[in-house]
Amino acid sequence: MQPVAAENVITVKNLLAAYEGESNAQAKYTAFAVQADEDGYLGAASLFRAAARAEQIHAANHARVIGLLGGDAQCDIHEIEIKSTLENLKVALGGETYEIESMYPGFLAEAESHNNTAAIRTFHGALEAEKTHARLYAEAIALLEAGKKDSWVGSPRDFFVCPVCGYTSETPEEHDRCPVCNCAWDRFETVS
């Protein structure tokens, strides 16, 4: 295997950090979905499962680029602290917000500084998909805090996940194509 080229050392380090973040988010959301089902928030459980699937797609995309640049995609999965569904949603929103406001913009700027198109594409896809997660988590938090268990958070429902970039929608036919990566909408996965 080719060693990592000098100009890509920081990009690979960033990709590994993002890979670790996405892999841990997937594990966390999967555990949070189980708790949400137990708490009777079946719609929130569906959202956690949809977001977990999206994070898995992000991790796989990052891993592919790490390999392309001569790196080795490995990471540790940390112990997961599970609390109430409302608290779990707030932890999830906090993670998404960090990725949207800090992590991915920084990683994107670094990749753009030497025009690494593969890294730019995977960071950009993840950044845009995380915005959909943050919006949906914030909506769920507001509904839980208002005690609206008779809303979508309380009943099982479907979410729709782009298989290429992880863009997550609550609507089966929002567009003809994914607004982030242009994947055909009929390829979207339904997650319940």
The residues binding Fe ion (CB under 5 A) are 130, 133, 162, 164-165, 167, 178, 180-181, 183
**Residues 32 and 101 sit within 8 Å (Cβ to Cβ):** no
Least Cβ distance, residue 52 to Fe ion (angstroms): 9
Q: What angle do CA 65, 70, 73 make, to 5 degrees?
A: 60
Least Cβ distance, residue 94 to Fe ion (angstroms): 12
User: For residues 5 and 184, which CB has a smaller minimum distance to Fe ion in the complex?
Assistant: 184
Least Cβ distance, residue 178 to Fe ion (angstroms): 3
User: For residues 33 and 178, which CB has a smaller minimum distance to Fe ion in the complex?
Assistant: 178
* CA nearest to 26, candidates 161, 149, 170, 174: 161
Tokens of 122: 């995977």
Least Cβ distance, residue 176 to Fe ion (angstroms): 12
Instruction: Give every strand in the sheet of 168-169, ordered side by side.
Output: 168-169, 159-161, 189-191
Q: In angstroms, rounded to a whole number, what is the distance separating the alpha carbons of residues 76 and 74?
A: 7
User: For residues 8 and 122, which CB has a smaller minimum distance to Fe ion in the complex?
Assistant: 122
User: For residues 130 and 170, which CB has a smaller minimum distance to Fe ion in the complex?
Assistant: 130
